[in-house]
């Protein structure tokens, strides 16, 4: 019975061209496929890929990675491709135990990285991977595409030891341009080293954006030269009364560069006009009554506001956002705009008008939480939707209407993609205000047909935020993110036609050993058939 269901699900993928011709798949599966009984056939490496590629066809014998394997980049492709090759070598050395030198010269056996600006069907970020006995060729239009190809290659090899990349061909490209995660380093402080570890985890599943929530009532985490007390004093607190902390500009630059080398763009957020108690505590001149509040270590939201009527407020945001823009090679600056419950609606709208102007003046595109749609989103400003099934229809309509007027949307439904929601009532860390979110629920929805009136073309992509009111350790962070982060990765990358829980859950189960090998703490969710 189970086998039958599996066959049907695999059949759907085959029919959609996701897994290629059935004959070659069966051949590649070999004896496993005939294993029968109540044992499910083991997935072949092509079938196991997560996120599922746009198309894959197993055919013929593959390439055995061994002691003689080299990684080839050609001088003509430039320094950046060389760097992608070096990084791939570094990532493959540990699991394979092989030296994998990176050499100049595209011709010859081995793993070859090549840029072809005319490559078809791969877009800006996609790639082609061809595996034959004489080698594996990765082809892309951009170094980013080659990087993603390398991440696919990692999954085609065994968790440990050398192995054979199965013969065949993959042509792959993402469904959405924006595939993001967010981490809140304000409620609890995390070091740049900890965030870098997350960057590695994201990049490996082709997630290309990391939104960092840098400021909130409980702490200000980034040094700003023109307002030094923000980090020095406002950074010295966190939820629960711990010491907090902040990042220097040098540390932040280092994080930006580290992420950039892995094709992860940082989107920094300074939340305003609410969520600003740490700033008000640091500078009394930012409050309307001139009295600085105490630092805050609780978990309430919506009680603080910048003083909308004061000109000093706008000098403040101009200087802060100016310094932030200067640290940001990426396109976006996130200005929050959520839960401004203590800012009257008219004040909120006039404040957000000016804040959006400031961002534009510093050459960046605004991202804001979808509450901005109730004010006046600037042309091109991106709205991040964080509603859920019980969000009033009128609020959803407002977002869809703004999208129709030219404001692209990032979807972060709280009851699907909020990584701080509990898996079930027994989950120790986490909140449940949007409901509990089992792994299946995080996966089983379609971003292209999610909000009424919001066409797929207006969806920039998806993002999974991790708020940290209840999360203070790396173990809890990873436990909440994994494996639901992989739902996000697949929803963002894979074609709509390949989204299918039955096959996905088996592919996810196959990732277990890879997560274990990297010492990633994850929730062994009961709805996934872990081996
Ligand atoms: C809502 S989502 C918030 C955050 C909280 C989060 C907890 C959003 C834009 N605001 O301030 O941390 O819920 O899940």
Residues 468-495 pLDDT 10s? 999 999 999 999 999 999 999 999 999 9
The pLDDT value given to residue 283: 98
Rg of the Cα trace of the chain? 24
Nearest residue to 224 (alpha-carbon basis) of 362, 305, 356, 321 = 321
Query: pLDDT: is 218 or 22 the higher one?
Result: 218
User: Is 104 a residue whose pLDDT tops 80?
Assistant: yes
Model confidence at 42, in pLDDT bands (50, 70, 90)? confident
Give the H or E element holding residue 462.
strand 459-466
Query: pLDDT: is 37 or 138 the higher one?
Result: 138
CB 236 within 8 A of CB 244: yes
Fold of domain 40-172: Chitobiase; domain 2 (3.30.379)
What is the DSSP secondary-structure string of 308-370? Answer: TT-HHHHHHHHHHHHHHHHT--SSEEEEE----TTS-HHHHHHHHHHHHHHHHHTT-EEEEEG
- Mean pLDDT taken over the chain: 93
Average pLDDT in the 400-429 region? Answer: 98
What are 15's two structure tokens? 């029919």
Q: Which of 304, 369, 415, 467 to probe ligand 1 with, by most ligand atoms within 8 A of CB?
A: 467
Ligand 1 atom with the smallest distance to the CA of 469 is: 12
| Gap from CA of 420 to ligand 1 centroid (Å) | 9
Ligand 1 atom with the smallest distance to the CA of 431 is: 14
CB 253 within 8 A of CB 265: no
The pLDDT value given to residue 278: 98
| 345-394 residue pLDDT tens | 999 999 999 999 999 999 999 999 999 999 999 999 999 999 999 999 99
The pLDDT value given to residue 127: 98
| Residue range(s) in the chain whose domain bears CATH number 3.30.379.10 | 40-172
- 3 state SS of 433: coil
CB 437 within 8 A of CB 418: yes
Model confidence at 58, in pLDDT bands (50, 70, 90)? very high
Query: pLDDT: is 40 or 294 the higher one?
Result: 294
* Spatial CB neighbours of 440, under 8 Å, sequence gap ≥ 6: 501, 505, 527
Model confidence at 37, in pLDDT bands (50, 70, 90)? very low
| Residue range(s) in the chain whose domain bears CATH number 3.20.20.80 | 178-419+446-474+491-498
User: Is 75 a residue whose pLDDT tops 90?
Assistant: no
The pLDDT value given to residue 4: 36
Give exposure, 101-120, as e/b (b: 16+ Cβ within 10 Å): ebeeebeeebbbbbbeeebe
The pLDDT value given to residue 460: 98
Q: Which of 267, 269, 274, 338 to probe ligand 1 with, by most ligand atoms within 8 A of CB?
A: 338
| Gap from CA of 485 to ligand 1 centroid (Å) | 18
Model confidence at 443, in pLDDT bands (50, 70, 90)? very high
Q: Which of 302, 339, 410, 411 to probe ligand 1 with, by most ligand atoms within 8 A of CB?
A: 339
User: Is 29 a residue whose pLDDT tops 50?
Assistant: no
Instruction: Report the alpha-carbon distance of residue 270 to residue 259 in Å, rounded.
Output: 19
The pLDDT value given to residue 379: 97
The pLDDT value given to residue 15: 37
Worst-scoring range by mean pLDDT, 7-11, 74-78, 140-144, 524-528? 7-11
The pLDDT value given to residue 255: 99
Instruction: Report the alpha-carbon distance of residue 209 to residue 462 in Å, rounded.
Output: 10
Give residues (CB < 6 A) around ligand 1: 301, 338-339, 369, 386, 418, 420, 431, 467, 469
User: How many residues are present in the chain?
Assistant: 531
The pLDDT value given to residue 301: 95
Helices and strands counted in the chain (H then E): 18, 19
Ligand 1 atom with the smallest distance to the CA of 468 is: 12
Worst-scoring range by mean pLDDT, 13-22, 208-217, 426-435, 436-445? 13-22
Report which protein residue has its CA nearest ligand 1's atom 10.
338
Model confidence at 13, in pLDDT bands (50, 70, 90)? very low
Average pLDDT in the 128-134 region? Answer: 98
CB 264 within 8 A of CB 255: no
Active site positions, annotated: 339
> How far is C-alpha 264 from the chain's CA centre?
8
CATH 3.20.20.80 fits 178-419+446-474+491-498, yes or no: yes
Nearest residue to 334 (alpha-carbon basis) of 396, 406, 250, 272 = 272
| Gap from CA of 305 to ligand 1 centroid (Å) | 16
Report which protein residue has its CA nearest ligand 1's atom 5.
467
432 burial type by CB count under 10 A (0-12 exposed, 13-18 middle, 19+ buried) = middle
Alpha-carbon distances of 143 from 78, 124, 364, 463, 474, rounded to whole Å? 10, 9, 24, 23, 31
The pLDDT value given to residue 39: 55
Give the H or E element holding residue 8.
helix 2-15
Instruction: Report the alpha-carbon distance of residue 416 to residue 434 in Å, rounded.
Output: 9
**Helical packing angle, 311-326 and 345-361, nearest 10°:** 40
| Gap from CA of 467 to ligand 1 centroid (Å) | 7
Pairing label, strands 215-216, 168-172:
unpaired
Instruction: Report the alpha-carbon distance of residue 433 to residue 292 in Å, rounded.
Output: 31
| Gap from CA of 401 to ligand 1 centroid (Å) | 23
Model confidence at 33, in pLDDT bands (50, 70, 90)? very low
CB 165 within 8 A of CB 156: yes
């Amino acid at each position: 019975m189970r086998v039958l269901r599996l066959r049907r699900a695999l059949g759907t993928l085959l029919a959609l061209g996701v897994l290629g011709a059935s004959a070659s798949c069966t051949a590649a599966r070999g004896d496993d496929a005939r294993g029968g009984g109540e044992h499910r056939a083991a997935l072949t490496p092509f079938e196991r890929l997560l996120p599922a590629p746009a198309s894959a066809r197993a055919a013929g014998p593959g390439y055995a990675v061994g002691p003689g394997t080299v990684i080839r980049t050609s001088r003509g492709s430039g320094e950046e491709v060389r760097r992608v090759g070096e990084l791939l070598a570094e990532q493959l050395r540990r699991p394979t135990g092989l030296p994998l030198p990176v050499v100049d010269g595209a011709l010859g056996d081995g793993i070859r990285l090549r840029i072809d600006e005319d490559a078809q069907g791969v877009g800006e970020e996609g790639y082609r991977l061809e595996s034959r006995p004489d080698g594996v060729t990765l082809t892309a239009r951009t170094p980013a595409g080659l990087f993603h190809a390398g991440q696919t290659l990692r999954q085609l090899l065994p968790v440990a030891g050398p192995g054979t990349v199965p013969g065949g061909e993959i042509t792959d490209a993402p469904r959405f341009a924006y595939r993001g995660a967010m981490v809140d380093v304000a409620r609890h402080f995390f070091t740049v080293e900890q965030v870098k570890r997350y960057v590695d985890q994201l990049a490996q599943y082709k997630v290309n954006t990391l939104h960092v929530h840098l400021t909130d009532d409980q702490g200000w985490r980034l040094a700003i030269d023109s307002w030094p007390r923000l980090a020095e004093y406002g950074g010295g607190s966190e939820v629960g009364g711990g010491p907090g902390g902040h990042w220097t500009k040098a540390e932040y630059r280092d994080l930006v560069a580290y992420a950039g080398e892995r094709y992860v763009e940082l989107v920094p957020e300074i939340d305003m006009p609410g969520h600003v108690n740490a700033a008000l505590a640091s500078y009394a001149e930012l409050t309307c009554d001139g009295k600085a509040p105490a630092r805050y270590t609780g978990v309430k939201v919506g009680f603080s506001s910048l003083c909308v009527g004061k000109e000093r407020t706008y000098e403040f945001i101009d200087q802060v956002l100016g310094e932030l823009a200067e640290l940001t090679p990426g396109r976006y600056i996130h200005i929050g705009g959520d839960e401004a419950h203590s800012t009257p609606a008219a004040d909120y709208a006039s404040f957000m008008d000016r804040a959006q102007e400031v961002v534009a003046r510093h050459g960046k595109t605004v991202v804001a939480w979808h509450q901005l749609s109730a004010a006046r989103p600037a042309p091109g400003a991106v709205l991040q939707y964080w509603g859920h099934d019980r969000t009033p229809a009128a609020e959803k309509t407002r977002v869809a209407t703004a999208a129709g007027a030219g404001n692209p949307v990032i979807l972060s439904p709280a009851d699907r993609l909020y990584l701080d929601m509990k898996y079930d009532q027994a989950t120790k860390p986490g909140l449940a205000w949007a409901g509990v979110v089992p792994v299946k629920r995080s996966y089983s929805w379609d971003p292209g047909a999610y909000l009424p009136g919001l066409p797929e073309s207006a969806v920039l992509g998806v993002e999974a935020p991790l708020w940290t009111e209840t999360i203070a350790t790396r173990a809890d962070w990873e436990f909440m993110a994994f494996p639901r982060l992989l739902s996000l990765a697949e929803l963002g990358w894979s074609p709509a036609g390949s989204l299918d829980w039955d096959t996905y859950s088996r592919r996810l189960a196959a990732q277990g050993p890879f997560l274990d090998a990297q010492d990633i703490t994850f929730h062994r969710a009961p709805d996934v058939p872990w081996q």
